[in-house]
């Protein structure tokens, strides 16, 4: 067994009392600020998130990995941090939800890898109370090192000073950031918009953000200084077998289908697959391929164009009719149904690979971690959608919820098609994923 290696790199974990405190905006601003200083900044995002990493990748100029102790496993997270630390001048990790929310939580991840935590708080509407909340978070657990508080949305210097004066010496003020809607990142119903849609606007906001963190209320800000180094250790990961050697996988990737983990693409290539990307929106033909992956995204926002692209729908149906392997996740699953009704109640025909109808549900939906109980084996996954399906066939399996006994998302099989609302994390079971794309299906 190879001996464990280690490398040190400055690192900071940005977390908050809840969602909506400004974590992504501040993480992106910090990434761009240090990038502008000539530093190599590697950013990680906690949990199964597709949209924040797109934003953070553009801000940092580097690929952004998802880290999740449940979905990816402790060794995987450890190795990714170790690899980043070998080339980075700074590692930033953005947490998910509130600091202690979820099992495992952002706090669990920070504690496991000894990364100092910066508490980001939207202090609009409070002063000394912000210090009290920050102190409660900082002292809730003894295994977490808290670097200090980042007070976001300060109205005036007096407002910032009231919070600063209320903090004990053991909890420094890292930054007081002025209220500035110009730096906030654009959002939509599943979170932030996709970076490709607003690239120029994001560049403008990143430029403003890099100035913002050293702006009028930021004279004493410490976040413009590199944090203390953290020692990261290598981990032993299983060797990837060439289970897809010689296989070509066509992958949908455009404005409608973009919820793709880079880690999933990397694993497919490590298993020997050749990847070819295409657009169900804009292309009229499928690439020559042995199997097809229709990932999640926003098909409901492009339902008319998807429906109007009859040539592509015919190509996908023909691919399915001859029994070739297809994996369809969430938005890809909706594309495979007979039709899709958007938020304005417009119903448009889809590819019709699978019996059933999809419809958007406004603000109500489903999200959470689940294990996909596939006939080929268990794969860690998550669900995040605001739509429903009806009239579908009998499932071949269900997701197993992380903390609830009720069945999770349905999993469907039709010829070579595997379809579900679940987004799969491929590295959690490479053998099962290889079986799906090879067409070696069970059950």
- Asked whether residue 142 falls in the same domain as residue 272, the answer is no
Which of 204, 233, 262 is at the close of a domain?
A: 233
Q: By residue range, what is the domain housing residue 317?
A: 248-438
Rg (CA), the chain: 23
**% the chain with pLDDT above 90:** 81
CA atoms within 13 A on the CB side of 50: 23
Which of 233, 266, 288 is at the close of a domain?
A: 233
Quick one: pLDDT band at residue 201, thresholds 50, 70, 90?
A: confident
CATH number for position 393: 3.40.50.880
Task: Note whether residue 180 is domain-resident.
Answer: yes
Q: What is the pLDDT of residues 1-23, one digit of tens each?
A: 567 899 999 999 999 999 999 99
What pLDDT, on a 0 to 100 scale, did the predictor assign at position 303? 95
Task: Note whether residue 239 is domain-resident.
Answer: no
3-state secondary structure 19-39: CCCCHHHHHHHHHHHHHHCCC
Task: Note whether residue 176 is domain-resident.
Answer: yes
Task: Note whether residue 242 is domain-resident.
Answer: no
pTM of the predicted structure, to 2 decimals: 0.92
Distances (CA, A) of 290 to 283, 341, 342, 386, 443: 18, 31, 32, 32, 21
- Asked whether residue 207 falls in the same domain as residue 289, the answer is no
Task: Note whether residue 291 is domain-resident.
Answer: yes
Task: Note whether residue 238 is domain-resident.
Answer: no
- Asked whether residue 411 falls in the same domain as residue 303, the answer is yes
Distances (CA, A) of 174 to 19, 67, 194, 252, 272: 20, 25, 30, 43, 46
- Asked whether residue 302 falls in the same domain as residue 367, the answer is yes
Comparing 4-18, 22-36, 185-199, which segment has the lowest mean pLDDT? Answer: 185-199
Q: 17 is written with which tokens?
A: 């009392």
Which of 208, 233, 258 is at the close of a domain?
A: 233
Catalytic residue list: 330
Task: Note whether residue 82 is domain-resident.
Answer: yes
- Asked whether residue 159 falls in the same domain as residue 308, the answer is no
What pLDDT, on a 0 to 100 scale, did the predictor assign at position 181? 83
Neighbours of 338 (CB within 10 A): 17
- Asked whether residue 207 falls in the same domain as residue 256, the answer is no
Q: What is the pLDDT of residues 142-151, one digit of tens each?
A: 999 999 999 9
In the chain, the number of structural domains is 2
- Asked whether residue 344 falls in the same domain as residue 421, the answer is yes
- Asked whether residue 15 falls in the same domain as residue 56, the answer is yes
What pLDDT, on a 0 to 100 scale, did the predictor assign at position 368? 86
What pLDDT, on a 0 to 100 scale, did the predictor assign at position 440? 83
Mean pLDDT of 412-432: 96
* Residue 384 scores a pLDDT above 80: yes
- Asked whether residue 340 falls in the same domain as residue 367, the answer is yes
Q: 264 is written with which tokens?
A: 């999933």
Q: Are 282 and 319 in contact (CB under 8 A)?
A: no
* Residue 354 scores a pLDDT above 80: yes
Quick one: pLDDT band at residue 182, thresholds 50, 70, 90?
A: confident
Mean pLDDT of 402-406: 84
3-state secondary structure the chain: CCCCCEEEEEEEEEECCCCCCCHHHHHHHHHHHHHHCCCCEEEEEECCCCHHHHHHHHHHCCCCEEECCCCCCHHHHHHHHHHHHCCCCEEEEECCCCCCCCCCCHHHHHHHCCCCEEEEEECCCCCHHHHHHHHHHHCCCCCCCEEEEEEEEECCHHHHHHHHHHCCCCCCEEEEEECCHHHCCCEECCEECCHHHHHHHHHHHHHHHHHHCCCCCCCCCCCCCCCCEEEEECCCCCCCCCCCCCCEEEEECCCCEEECCHHHHHHHHHCCCEEEEECCCCCCCCCCCCEEEECEECHHHHHHHHHHCHHHHHHHHHHHHCCCCEEEECHHHHHHCCEEECCCCCEEECCCCCCCEEEECCCCCEEEEEEEEECCEEEEEEEEECEEEECCCCCCEEEEECCCCCEEEEEEEECCEEEECCEECHHHCHHHHHHHHHCCCCC
* Residue 119 scores a pLDDT above 60: yes
- Asked whether residue 252 falls in the same domain as residue 228, the answer is no
* Residue 190 scores a pLDDT above 60: no
Comparing 73-87, 218-232, 392-406, 408-422, which segment has the lowest mean pLDDT? Answer: 218-232
- Asked whether residue 423 falls in the same domain as residue 377, the answer is yes
CATH number for position 197: 3.40.50.300
* Residue 359 scores a pLDDT above 70: yes
- Asked whether residue 222 falls in the same domain as residue 310, the answer is no
Task: Note whether residue 1 is domain-resident.
Answer: no
Neighbours of 136 (CB within 10 A): 10
């Amino acid at each position: 067994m190879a001996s464990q290696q280690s490398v040190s790199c400055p690192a900071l974990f940005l977390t908050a009392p809840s969602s909506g405190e400004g974590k992504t905006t501040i993480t992106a601003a910090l990434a761009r600020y240090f990038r502008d200083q000539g530093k190599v900044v590697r950013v990680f995002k906690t949990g199964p998130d597709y949209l924040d990493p797109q934003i953070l990748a553009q801000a940092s100029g580097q690929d952004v990995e998802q880290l999740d102790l449940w979905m990816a496993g402790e060794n995987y997270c450890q190795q990714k941090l170790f690899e980043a630390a070998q080339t980075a001048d700074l590692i930033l990790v953005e947490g998910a939800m509130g600091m202690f929310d979820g099992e495992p939580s952002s706090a669990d991840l920070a504690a496991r890898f000894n990364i100092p935590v910066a508490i980001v708080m939207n202090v609009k509407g409070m002063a000394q109370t912000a210090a009290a909340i920050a102190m409660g978070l900082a002292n809730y657990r003894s295994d977490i090192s808290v670097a200090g508080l980042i007070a976001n949305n300060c109205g005036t210097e007096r407002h910032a000073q009231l919070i600063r004066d209320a903090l004990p010496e053991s909890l420094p003020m890292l930054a007081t950031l002025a209220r500035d809607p110009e730096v906030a990142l654009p959002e939509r119903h599943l979170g932030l918009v996709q970076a490709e849609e607003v690239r120029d606007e994001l560049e403008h906001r990143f430029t403003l953000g890099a100035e913002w963190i050293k702006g009028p209320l930021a004279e004493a800000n410490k976040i413009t200084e590199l944090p203390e180094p953290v020692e990261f250790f290598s981990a032993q990961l299983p060797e990837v077998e060439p289970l897809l050697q010689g296989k070509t996988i066509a992958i949908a990737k455009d404005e409608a289908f973009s919820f793709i983990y880079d880690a999933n693409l990397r694993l497919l290539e490590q298993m020997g697959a050749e990847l070819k990307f295409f657009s169900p929106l804009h292309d009229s033909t499928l690439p020559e391929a042995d199997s097809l992956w229709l990932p999640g995204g926003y098909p409901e926002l492009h339902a008319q164009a998807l429906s109007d692209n009859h040539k592509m729908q015919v190509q996908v149906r023909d691919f399915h009719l001859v029994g070739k392997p297809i994996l369809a996740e969430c938005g890809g699953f909706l594309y495979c149904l007979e039709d899709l009704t958007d938020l304005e109640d417009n119903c448009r025909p889809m590819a019709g690979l699978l019996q059933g109808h999809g419809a958007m549900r406004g603000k109500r939906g489903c999200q959470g971690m689940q294990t996909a109980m596939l006939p080929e084996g268990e794969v860690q996954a998550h669900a995040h959608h605001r739509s429903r399906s009806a009239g579908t066939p009998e499932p071949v399996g269900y997701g197993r919820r992380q903390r609830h006994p009720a069945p999770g998302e349905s999993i469907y099989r039709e010829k070579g098609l595997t379809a579900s609302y679940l987004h799969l994390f491929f590295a959690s079971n490479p053998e099962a994923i290889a079986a799906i794309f090879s067409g070696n299906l069970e059950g």
